Structure 1
């Protein structure tokens, strides 16, 4: 019976190792795609939207868009930057076709949450923004995250619909289905600090695979010794 359980466990360990190898290939492909995207030329928003409608994935695709900021509707996403706590400022950008897109303009320190304290950075008139397209989140990514406090304008996860609904946009507004993270072009007064997109995807699948396969090899050695023992005793 113990031998049978050992064989079952061996198969499980081998399966886990193989699964991690498959995850390794997937992660390497994902990292390669991101690298290719981030080093490509910016595309007009219309082309990025077309790709999103087709594939549902435009994460980290460079994009350029023009419009007018609706600063009264800026939403604040809790974030840290270079060791400081604060917020990433998501501001609706009104497009020429009447739609809106949420732009992550960048980071502001916690004590500068009030826009009046950084009025110089509230750019007026038509602007052109270049940055990276970001996919919307379909749901809260983790139960460990606090719920968004819409009343206080503090968001702990990027709920695109809730951000837009609380931003004071015109009735019946249409929202572009993606976010855009603005690049590090300096804003007047230095705030918000653009270019805060963090691309840091851990890739530890090879180590995990080696761990599972190593355990499988150790167990296989034990099982072989167990099978040989009766023959030696006879």
Structure 2
């Protein structure tokens, strides 16, 4: 997906993340498209020591964002709820983040999804984009072994029961 527009000046929000680079934060910032509506953009990952907003200043010029459209993640993370008052975010809950950023009542509206930005051409740029992992579990071998093992156990139990029944009928 590609969006053209500008980032809205002001604060962004940090959402806890675990990536191939270790623990840290996703940087989410509001982006006004040329069509006029707002979208939260996950600009990428920063390590805990890179939390300083000066290290990840928003570009002022219009730009095109290319990335992956993602659905909102309401509620919080595993066993933890988002705490906007304390600035602790564990999931990318679009409605709650928009309300916290003060953009929730924008007349043009806020998209009910966010966009994970692709990697920046400059490998040293912060935040580091393009870390979205799209991987589907491939457990087919495990499933096959499980079902064949269950079938073998059923065949073995059936054989045992039939044999015991046959022996019981042969006894006087």
User: Do 1:145 and 1:157's aligned partners in 2 also have CA atoms closer than 8 Å?
Assistant: no
- Which of 154, 158, 167 is 1:219 aligned to? 154
Higher helix share: 1
Map of 1:1-234 to 2, 5 A cutoff?
63-116=1-54, 118-119=55-56, 121-137=57-73, 139-140=74-75, 144-169=78-103, 171-173=105-107, 174-186=109-121, 190-233=125-168, 234=170
* 3-state DSSP of counterpart to 2:26: strand
User: Do 2:75 and 2:82's aligned partners in 1 also have CA atoms closer than 8 Å?
Assistant: no
Unaligned runs of at least 5 residues, structure 1: 1-62
The structural deviation recorded for 1:187 is 5.8
Normalising by structure 1, we get a TM-score of 0.64
The structural deviation recorded for 1:209 is 4.0
Match of residue 19 from structure 1: none
Normalising by structure 2, we get a TM-score of 0.84
Instruction: Provide runs of 4+ in structure 1 moved above 6 Å.
Output: none
In the alignment, the residues of structure 2 paired with residue 230 and residue 125 of structure 1 have an alpha-carbon distance, to the nearest angstrom, of 84
Figure out how many residues of one structure are paired with residues of the other and give that number.
168
* 3-state DSSP of counterpart to 1:89: strand
* 3-state DSSP of counterpart to 2:92: coil
